[in-house]
């Protein structure tokens, strides 16, 4: 199959560096509420898959949508999926035909994995703490010609490594969940690979036989692992991240009581000024495949007598409270690091704050107001490979943060 993430690839995968996984962790609090975290070696989970999984899980298990968190590692060496970066890939028709059936198969596998986890729950203790890893580098470099994609050592980066430890009553490790805010893009080749996050999970599982290691992406939309592009560097970063997790596991962690709450809502996010027909016709002549393909799709919409959508209808925002003071925020899309810093500051009164991105639906980059004004890839042109008509309208950051704070207040008050 075709590998996801990079539009410049010209052929399908040719081998396997290591296996790819979806993994699930099911939890139940003292009131009987069940929470499920799913992690995946995917560039992103599209809304259709997320909604399909959630509906089937509710039907088969009764777990409501707020209690289901679906995350992706954003590896660029996983399979291409339907309705995710589709205009990015210039692939032959016979390759394109594989994507739909595979997506349906994977969706069913996600459901089965979640159902299995819920059936296999056993008494456990939870605790958490935070470590550090240093290989992420901000990639938005200011120049006299604007922002370019290059190393910016002075740019903001979130080096924190949140860690959730799950053990038996006598202390045996059952699972460890950890995150990091950095693009999972060390490698750009033709093999299946979980990138640095995959190597980190492998290292932890080898260190702790029988335990399951699970990775989630933070707000790493504007950070890269640098330098990169070799398997040796990828494994090095994976081991560095695993070591950061190990250091946390060896230290003092805060216990999590068996209580909690969850909220999940979607909000509309408006686009900026939409492209006119003249611009789209001009885009048909572009040398860039994604620009041409997006223009073709948008023109078909207009030719059918329909309007181009002026907003994204269902941006997902989710907040979990585990115990009394761990607040876990899950944002859709490729959120940049400003969201992590702002939310950790604004929600600090509640307790410890984790911020995952690339969760529940990966439809585009999610720039902060600063990044949107500065432009560059994350704030502007990244909308092209996602097939969206234009960049986001001003005000996106406040809309998202406002909804997060609203949901955080609700879970704080929930007994």
Q: 372 near 401, Cβ under 8 Å?
A: no
Average pLDDT of the residues of the chain: 97
- Other Cβ atoms less than 10 A from the Cβ of 32: the count is 6
pLDDT band at 119 (very low <50, low <70, confident <90, very high): very high
Please count the other Cβ atoms lying within 10 Å of the Cβ belonging to residue 98.
Answer: 15
Closest to 386 in 3D by CA, of 129, 83, 19? 83
pLDDT over 70, % of the chain: 100
Query: Distance from CA of residue 361 to its chain's centroid?
Result: 8
Q: pLDDT digits over 326-351, tens only?
A: 999 999 999 999 999 999 999 999 99
- Count of residues making up the chain: 415
Listed by start position, the domains of the chain span 15-262+314-413, 275-309
Total Cβ atoms within 10 A of residue 356: 26
Mean pLDDT of 18-27: 98
Hey, which residues does 96 pair with through a beta bridge? none
Contacts by 50-56 with C-beta closer than 8 Å and gap 24+? 50/316, 50/360, 50/361, 52/107, 53/107, 53/110, 53/111, 53/114, 56/111
Determine the average pLDDT of the residues in 50-75: 98
State the average pLDDT over residues 348-363: 97
Residue 44 has pLDDT above 70, yes or no: yes
* pLDDT tens digit sequence for 269-290: 999 999 999 999 999 999 999 9
Residue 220 pLDDT grade (very low, low, confident, very high; cuts 50, 70, 90): very high
Model confidence at 302, pLDDT cuts 50, 70, 90, reads very high
Q: Which two tokens stand for residue 256?
A: 């999590």
Assess whether pLDDT exceeds 80 at residue 116: yes
Whether pLDDT at 262 is above 80:
yes
Cα separation of 276 and 312, whole Å? 18
pLDDT of residue 258: 96
d(CA 333, CA 310): 18
Instruction: Work out the pLDDT band at 247, boundaries 50, 70, 90.
Output: very high
Q: How confident is the model at residue 415 (pLDDT cuts 50, 70, 90)?
A: low
Q: Is pTM, for the whole model, over 0.85?
A: yes
Average pLDDT over residues 69-97: 96
């Amino acid at each position: 199959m075709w590998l996801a993430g990079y539009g410049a690839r010209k052929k399908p995968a040719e081998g396997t560096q290591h296996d790819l996984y979806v993994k699930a962790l099911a939890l139940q609090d003292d009131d009987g509420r069940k929470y499920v975290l799913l992690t995946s070696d995917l560039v992103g989970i599209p809304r259709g898959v997320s909604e399909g999984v959630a509906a089937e899980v509710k039907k088969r298990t009764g777990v409501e949508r707020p209690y289901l968190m679906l995350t992706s590692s954003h590896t660029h060496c996983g399979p291409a999926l339907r309705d995710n970066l589709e205009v990015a890939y210039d692939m032959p028709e016979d390759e394109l035909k594989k994507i739909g059936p595979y997506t349906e198969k994977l969706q069913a596998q996600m459901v089965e994995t979640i159902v299995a986890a819920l059936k296999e729950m056993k008494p456990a203790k939870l605790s958490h703490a935070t470590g550090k890893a240093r290989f992420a580098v901000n990639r938005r470099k200011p120049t006299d010609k604007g922002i370019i994609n290059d190393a910016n050592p002075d740019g903001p980066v979130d080096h924190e490594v949140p860690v959730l430890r799950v053990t038996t009553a006598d202390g045996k490790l059952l699972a460890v969940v950890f995150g990091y805010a950095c693009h999972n893009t060390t490698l750009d080749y033709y093999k299946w690979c979980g990138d640095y996050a995959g190597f980190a999970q492998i290292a932890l599982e080898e260190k702790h036989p029988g335990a399951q290691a699970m990775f989630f992406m933070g707000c790493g939309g504007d950070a890269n692992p640098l330098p990169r592009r070799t398997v040796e560097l990828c494994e090095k970063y994976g081991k560095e991240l695993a070591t950061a997790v190990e250091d946390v596991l060896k230290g003092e962690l805060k216990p999590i009581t068996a209580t909690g709450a969850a909220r999940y809502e979607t909000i509309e996010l408006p686009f900026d000024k939409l492209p006119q027909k003249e611009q789209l016709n001009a885009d048909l002549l572009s040398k860039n495949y994604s620009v041409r393909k997006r223009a073709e799709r948008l023109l078909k919409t207009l030719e059918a007598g329909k309007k181009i959508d002026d907003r994204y209808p269902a941006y997902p925002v989710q907040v979990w409270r585990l115990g009394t003071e761990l607040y876990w925020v899950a944002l859709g899309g490729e959120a940049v690091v400003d969201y992590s810093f702002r939310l950790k500051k604004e929600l600090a009164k509640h307790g410890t704050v984790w911020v995952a991105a690339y969760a529940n639906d990966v439809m585009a980059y999610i720039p902060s107001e600063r990044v949107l004004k500065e432009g560059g890839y994350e704030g502007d042109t990244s909308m092209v490979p996602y097939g969206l008509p234009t960049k986001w309208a001003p005000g996106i950051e406040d809309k998202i943060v406002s909804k997060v704070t609203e949901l955080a207040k609700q879970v704080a008050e929930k007994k």
